Structure 1
Amino acid sequence: MSKSLDPYAALRFREFNIFLAARFAMVFAWSMQFIVIEWQVYSMTKDPWSLGLIGLIEVTPAVLVALFAGHIVDQKEKRNLLIKCVLGFSVISLGLFLLSDPSLTSEISSNAILYSIYFLVFLGGIVRAFIGPTIFSLIALIVPKRAYPNAATWSSTTWQMASVLGPALAGFSISFIGVHWSMCLILAFSIIALIAISQISRKPIMNPKIGEPVFQSLKEGLDFVFESKAIFGALTLDMVAVLFGGAVALLPVFAQDILQVGSVGFGVLRAAPAVGAVITMVGSTRFPIHKYAGKKLLWAVFGFGISIIVFGLSTSFWLSVFALFMSGALDGISMVIRQTILQLKTPDEMRGRVASVNSIFVGSSNELGAFESGATAKLMGTVTAVVFGGTMTLLTVGFTAFISPSFRKLDLQSAVEEHEATSP
């Protein structure tokens, strides 16, 4: 099989497989923790605004620290930096585990517990600002350039698989063992991630400008992203789609009050988008979607908006599950295309800074989307808020397609072939 058609190219490197195991454990723990927090907070407050507030509290430090985190990542050794990030997450998980123990918090007011949870979520936002750029940079040091597109696909697929199982298990574990022991399980997976990362060897620092002034470094990273039409266009489109299509933040409301399916149904609903994304991503390893990437991305985001509208209007549990499944499958297409663009077009010495900008545009838009959904649900009602978000996504796609003919014509096939031909 030729290199360009090998669906397992990146998996043929031992350290990449270890990296995938570590990433799975990290994302599994993180996504499960977010779901458990959402459930606990909504159960305490019965206010959709509190769900939006969780997103805002996490995204605020992530955005404020992101660019500086990218600069630090480009200046530091990646493997040890990732170990420190996961260790920080483990400490936060331990704090949440203790806060959910009734025997320890019986004398503490509900408001004090709630504010303590928000504080730990805030600290998690700081940790997250470093994790994304570190992971993105580490991949390029584990596999050769010819395997970058394949590695990006498998890394994203692993992320989505963990996003499937984390929320699903969170729903079941809340139901069967409660919030407290669910937090214990989260802590265990973060420790597994630490052990796996320690099996990866230290990597060289690729940045030739060690010691470069911080603001000069940040300006260079921002200039690169804004001057690259392919990167900037993909990030902007995905950011707006996720921002206005953040219906998943309101799933506790749908599960408890609209569909009335309880914690188990909540886990199924929360996992449905990730199941769809995993199927898309695994399929893309055998059937690459690089050709006509711009058009495919636009149609995928358009379909995503339609799926969100259907979910918002649905009163049937299984129709809601299907709509969320389709939203994930279509979002998976955009994720594969975006990650391929970033891996192919980002120089090694700038990966941390570019990934930081990506985290601001796309990663943080999940939490901003949660805030937007919570705020609009408070103002106009839950169903109307979701339909509004889907409609805004459709308008964004139409606007992007109209003003950017070059983005519609974006084709990555030649870039992938050139990368493979010139790589060792």
Structure 2
Amino acid sequence: MAIPAVFTASMNDASASLRHCRPFWHFWLARVLLTAGFQILTVAIGWQVYALTGSALDLGLVGLLQFLPRVLLVLVTGAVSDRFDRRRVVAVSLAIQAVAASVLLLGNLGAGWQVSRGLIFALSVVVGCCRAFDMPAMQSLLPNIVPPRLLGQAIAMAASANEAATIVAPALGGFLYALGAELTYGLAAASFVACLLLVSLLPSSRVLPTGQRVSLDSLLMGVRFIRSRPDILGAISLDLFAVLLGGATALLPIFARDILHTGPWGLGLLRSAPAAGALLMSAWLMRHPIRRRSGHIMFAAVAVFGFATILFGLSSSFPLSLLALMLLGSADVISVVIRGTLVQLETPDDMRGRVNSVNSLFIGASNQLGEFESGVTAAWLGAVPAVVLGGVGTLLVVVLWMRWFPQLARRDQLAP
């Protein structure tokens, strides 16, 4: 994420301070391992379910099953993050995800059961439930670890760590899967366990007193808060519908095998390409933070995301496809920067879990539900038309949101 101007009086001083903040580096490495474990697991599940069924719809169903728990649990997960120790919430989620990866590992080793379509779907639901809890809790931990004056740079560095893991992990997972699925699932399980150990070293983080009564009104406060902030609502809903329509992640196994004619290694590189572009853009934004015309920049970035999606859908060249995905990732991270900065700066700490839970729901809808939408559309029309139409839909969303949220389009500074 970009570093808001209000936090960047002295980049060098902030860097020196963060170097001596041990809890932040525990958090930073835990974020890397959490993202790596999930990305490796996703690559393996996607390739294996497509190898088992050859169905584009099943690829979309995996994304849907990971997303539905976020919808059903959105009010609960935010309240849990604000009421209980966020560190323990993340730790329990990691332990369950490690068990899920281990079940798939043992299934591929022939330990009394075989990996089937039904087992993959069931474990996708389990992983989706875990992600519903760990995402808002993890996002809410960082402001409790570093002092406010360093929060901007800490967010930027944490986002860069996330993108770096998203670059390396899918490619590594793809290469290992070519040698044996059990290697990929074993690495995912090990990543979750290592992350759990690091999270246990973080300071406890509880915001609300344990005795405070939980009511429907308190659960809905995050929703009401977002509705009362047009800029936040416009930013997260723009990202939701743009990625929902333009996302092609679920179809990458089809493009890798049937259109670009590569193996699992190619799928890993394709999944890494958007993060490579995002990491480069994150590095640029750390040195050149978004200070002015943030609304115009956000809408321009989402439009570039749409054009890059169309280019990827029409490409039959592996290098050109990688380039299009890198451009897509570069544009997407700008939207992530602006949305994330708005949420962090304008949300009180005692509501951060509930607001981040709703925000995570929007992110999950754009990713997992977008994968389902892509799978259904590809099953009806084919992979290439599905991706191209998604890119066109993203451009239409940009036009509509500029009309419906003019205040966001005219927003100048990210922070007052």
- Matching residue of 2:248: 247
Native 8 Å contact 1:18 1:200 kept in 2: yes
**What are the equivalent positions in structure 2 for 1:35-184 lying under 5 Å apart?**
35-102=43-110, 104-105=112-113, 108=114, 113-175=116-178, 177-184=179-186
- Matching residue of 1:421: none
- Cα deviations by residue, 1:169-225 (Å, 9 ceiling, x for unpaired): 1111112x211121111111111111111221223x223695233311122111101
Does residue 207 of the first structure (1) align with residue 214 of the second (2)? Answer: no
Which of 9, 27, 35 aligns to 1:4? It is 9
Native 8 Å contact 1:149 1:344 kept in 2: no
What is the aligned-residue identity percentage? 38
- Matching residue of 2:3: none
Q: SS state of the match for residue 310, structure 2? A: helix
Moved more, 386-395 or 207-216: 207-216
Post-superposition offset of 1:402: 2.0
Equivalent AA in structure 2 for residue 59 of structure 1: F
- Matching residue of 1:189: 191
- Matching residue of 1:20: 28
Post-superposition offset of 1:157: 1.6
- Cα deviations by residue, 1:308-335 (Å, 9 ceiling, x for unpaired): 0000001111111100000001111111
Q: SS state of the match for residue 9, structure 2? A: helix
Equivalent AA in structure 2 for residue 116 of structure 1: L
Q: With structure 2 as the length reference, what TM-score do the two structures score?
A: 0.94
Equivalent AA in structure 1 for residue 128 of structure 2: G
Equivalent AA in structure 2 for residue 87 of structure 1: A
Give distance in 1, aligned partners of 2:414 and 2:233: 19
- Cα deviations by residue, 1:128-176 (Å, 9 ceiling, x for unpaired): 111111011111100112222222222222111111111111111112x
Post-superposition offset of 1:3: 4.3
- Matching residue of 1:311: 312
Equivalent AA in structure 2 for residue 162 of structure 1: A
Native 8 Å contact 1:247 1:386 kept in 2: yes
Give distance in 1, aligned partners of 2:211 and 2:365: 28
Q: Give the paired residue count.
A: 407
Q: SS state of the match for residue 165, structure 1? A: helix
Post-superposition offset of 1:282: 1.8
Native 8 Å contact 2:70 2:364 kept in 1: no
Structure 1 residues 208 and 290, CA gap change in structure 2 (3 angstroms):
farther
Give distance in 2, aligned partners of 1:234 and 1:150: 21
Structure 1 residues 88 and 373, CA gap change in structure 2 (3 angstroms):
same
Native 8 Å contact 1:149 1:343 kept in 2: no
- Cα deviations by residue, 1:317-375 (Å, 9 ceiling, x for unpaired): 11111000000011111111111111101100001100110011123320001000000
Q: SS state of the match for residue 412, structure 2? A: coil
Equivalent AA in structure 1 for residue 203 of structure 2: S
Structure 1 residues 210 and 384, CA gap change in structure 2 (3 angstroms):
farther
CA RMSD of aligned residues (A): 1.6
Structure 1 residues 206 and 393, CA gap change in structure 2 (3 angstroms):
same
Moved more, 181-190 or 301-310: 181-190
Give the unaligned 5+ runs of structure 2. 1-6
Give the unaligned 5+ runs of structure 1. 416-424
Native 8 Å contact 1:297 1:334 kept in 2: yes
Post-superposition offset of 1:119: 0.5
Give distance in 2, aligned partners of 1:25 and 1:19: 10
- Matching residue of 1:380: 381
Q: With structure 1 as the length reference, what TM-score do the two structures score?
A: 0.92
Native 8 Å contact 1:71 1:214 kept in 2: no
Post-superposition offset of 1:59: 0.5
Structure 1 residues 148 and 116, CA gap change in structure 2 (3 angstroms):
same
Native 8 Å contact 2:314 2:384 kept in 1: yes
Give distance in 1, aligned partners of 2:229 and 2:300: 22
Equivalent AA in structure 2 for residue 365 of structure 1: S
- Cα deviations by residue, 1:378-419 (Å, 9 ceiling, x for unpaired): 01111000001000000000111122221111133543xxxx
Structure 1 residues 398 and 348, CA gap change in structure 2 (3 angstroms):
same
Equivalent AA in structure 2 for residue 322 of structure 1: L
Give distance in 2, aligned partners of 1:298 and 1:192: 38
